[in-house]
Amino acid sequence: MRAFTYQPPASRIVFGAGTIAGVRDEVERLGGRRVLLLAAASGAGGAARLGAVLGDLVVARFDGAAAHTPVEVTDRALALLREHASDCVVALGGGTTTGLAKALAVRTGVPQVVLPTTYAGSEVTPVLGETRDGRKTTRSSPDILPETVVYDVELTLGLPQAVSLTSGMNALAHAVEALYAPQANPALDALALEAITRLGRALPRVVLVPADRDARADVLVAAWLAGTCLAAAGMGLHHQLCHVLGGSFGLPHAATHAVVLPHALTYNAPAVPDVLARVAAALGAPDAPGAVFDLVARLGGPTALRDLGLAGADLPRVIDLALAAPYPNPRELTADGVTALLDAAHAGRRPAPAPA
């Protein structure tokens, strides 16, 4: 028997195509009258549409969100929010923009409306990762969770193929780690396996045929489900390594997930063989780590940390940081084990199948 306690986080979810048209209603529903709009300069088209929908509710715009949510960037956005007495934050973009919205909300209490344009999933989690002095730390609070998430499939149609792939792998990591997290339960298991199945089925179609709306919708649903799993179940070794590699060495978040995930699964395989068997079945493959690696490689994604800019000389420092404060994980972290994991990930070696 598996004992558990489950209190699901609650965001309002609006899902569909063209749902951006209802964002003003969602802001007003939360009592918002003075919106700080967060949108990257690269998303000018979507930002213009959103600005037109919000109209005179927008009192300021900030387009300087940065990966891994550096506190100095948050401070600049916070000054703008206070200068204009904003009472609501509306964020359009991927995990970087969502992270900034969360950082502002937890500091001020203003409500958030988030429109994801990638498959990061962080929009439905009460978790915030921030970088200060070259170290990334995470914290969790109900005040971090966005009040409303508006999923608009049309906003993902222009997502570059490479970003679609790595962002989808980020979502896959959320679902996989939820299956062996200490807070796992039957409800999360069902959500995670549904997310993995959808990603295995639809992510190749999204990468190869970017305009496939049905595939885009499938992956966006999977990202929502996977993020919901992450919110309730927490994170393990895989996410810890990605946070270290991103926060301390500047590696791109989603691409790092794509590289590290198969090797983190290989590391944990002896402790949770039943979980890896379920992941493999959901992906329609005999071996989960190999299936994840092959999916990325087949679609032209990154498979080696060295190709993301991590020097071999940095590996001992990565290992030290990972071992200093390990996340909950089904297999105990050892220096030799993490070294082997990172060596394989740095070189981009395909994981060997686990012994029967």
pLDDT tens figures, 114-132: 999 999 899 999 999 999 9
Residues 236, 347, 119: CA angle, nearest 5 degrees:
45
Confirm if 229 and 192 have CB atoms less than 8 A apart: yes
Which residue's entry shows tokens 């089925």?
201
Residue range 12-156, CATH number? 3.40.50.1970
Q: For the chain, which residues make up each domain, given as ranges?
A: 12-156, 161-347
Q: How far apart are CA 286 and CA 353, in angstroms?
A: 9
pTM above 0.85, yes or no: yes
3-class secondary-structure state, position 205: helix
CB distance 282 to 174 below 8 Å: no
What's the pLDDT score for residue 1? 61
Residue 2: the pLDDT is 72
Tell me the percentage of the chain whose pLDDT exceeds 70: 98
Q: What are phi and psi of 39, to 5 degrees?
A: -160, 130
d(CA 121, CA 104): 18
Q: Is 259 helix (H, G, I), strand (E, B) or coil?
A: helix
Give residue 147's pLDDT. 98
Looking up tokens 């997502």, which residue turns up? 159
The three-class DSSP label of residue 88 is: strand
Looking at domain 161-347, its CATH superfamily turns out to be Dehydroquinate synthase-like - alpha domain (1.20.1090.10)
Among candidate residues 277, 274, 273, 295, the one with its CA nearest the CA of residue 287: 277
pLDDT at 43: 66
> What is the predicted pLDDT for the residue at 355?
57
Predicted local distance difference test score (pLDDT) of residue 354: 63
Residue with tokens 């499938």: 218
Backbone conformation region of residue 236, classed left if phi is above 0, alpha if psi is from -120 to 50, else beta:
beta
Burial of residue 233 (CB within 10 Å: 0-12, 13-18, 19+) is buried
Crossing angle (nearest 10°) for helices 273-283 and 288-298: 40
Please tell me the distance from the alpha carbon of residue 148 to that of residue 321, in angstroms, as a whole number. Answer: 35
Regions of the chain where pLDDT drops below 50: none
Amino acid at 87: D
